[in-house]
Amino acid sequence: MGDAVRVLGVDACPGGWVAVALSDGRFDGARFGTGLRALLGGAGHGEAADDARVVAVDIPLGLLGTGWRRADADAAALLGRLRGSVFRVPPRAVWQEEGYEAANRRCRELTGAGLSRQSWGLAAKLREANACLADAGGDRLREVHPEVSFRALAGGRPLSYRKKSWSGQMTRRSLLEDAGIVLPGDLGDAGAVPPDDVLDAAAAAWSADRIARGRARSLPDPPQPGDGGRPIAIWY
């Protein structure tokens, strides 16, 4: 038998990041880390993230010099009534500003539209993830969006409830279980993370497994060329 296909799904959460590992599509550990780089150094049962063929992260990876990313527009169109979970990612220069007011002005100068405070709230983690992307090289680190993944898990059907609701969380957990991903009651230090973030990390791991097996799709298809020629896409 060949080696197991190990992948990692990572989601930003309060205070840091949460990761869910899969081996051959089955749960293989969960972990919390305050920094993404440190978290990628070990995942699930103490095994190194280097063992993971694909690491799927729920954060924008890849920025443009000008204009808006097509991936975000395509994901919002796909999600319909849940499109509010997708935010438009402005050009790189906006994220290089030190504060919200300056970033908002810069965004208006470059795109003609402002930047929401909610989007700017992800600035630190977006910068952190893209620094890891630059260090990683290749295409092992991929961008995902859990709501896009959950829609795919549901056979392309839109989900009726938002992820923070009881019904929304139970629906998402059932979809993961139907796909063979059973999350245990004891997640160790990851058990202190909000449930919706754990579910999002698991959905990211499901997409990572599809990427590793060559079964994933992307938004847009084909991916949009980004700075330095690296393609920009949301995978699922």
Q: Is residue 69 part of a domain?
A: no
Q: Is residue 94 part of a domain?
A: yes
DSSP state of 96: T
Q: Is the pLDDT of residue 131 over 70?
A: yes
Tokens of 134: 């630059």
Q: pLDDT grade, residue 9 (50/70/90)?
A: very high
Indicate the average pLDDT of the chain.
93
Q: Is residue 101 part of a domain?
A: yes
DSSP state of 230: -
On whether the CB atoms of residues 189 and 181 are closer than 8 A, the answer is: no
Tokens of 186: 């004891």
Q: Is residue 106 part of a domain?
A: yes
Q: Is residue 104 part of a domain?
A: yes
Q: Is residue 105 part of a domain?
A: yes
Containing structural domain, residue 115: 89-121
pLDDT digits (tens, 9 = 90+) for 212-225: 999 999 999 999 99
Q: Is the pLDDT of residue 44 over 50?
A: no
In this prediction, residues 92-105 reach a mean pLDDT of 97
Q: What is the dihedral sign for C-alpha 85, 91, 92, 97?
A: negative
| Domains identified in the chain, total number | 1
Q: Is residue 110 part of a domain?
A: yes
What CA–CA distance (Å, rounded) separates 222 from 229?
13
On whether the CB atoms of residues 21 and 8 are closer than 8 A, the answer is: yes
Q: pLDDT grade, residue 137 (50/70/90)?
A: low
Which value, to the nearest 10 degrees, does the dihedral of the CA atoms of residues 150, 123, 84, 199 take? 30
Q: Is residue 199 part of a domain?
A: no
Listed in order, strand segments (DSSP E) in the chain are 6-13, 16-23, 26-33, 54-58, 141-143, 218-225, 231-235
What CA–CA distance (Å, rounded) separates 119 from 27?
31
Q: pLDDT grade, residue 14 (50/70/90)?
A: very high
Output the CA–CA distances (angstroms, integers) from residue 198 to 2, 12, 40, 101, 228, in the order listed.
29, 10, 16, 32, 33
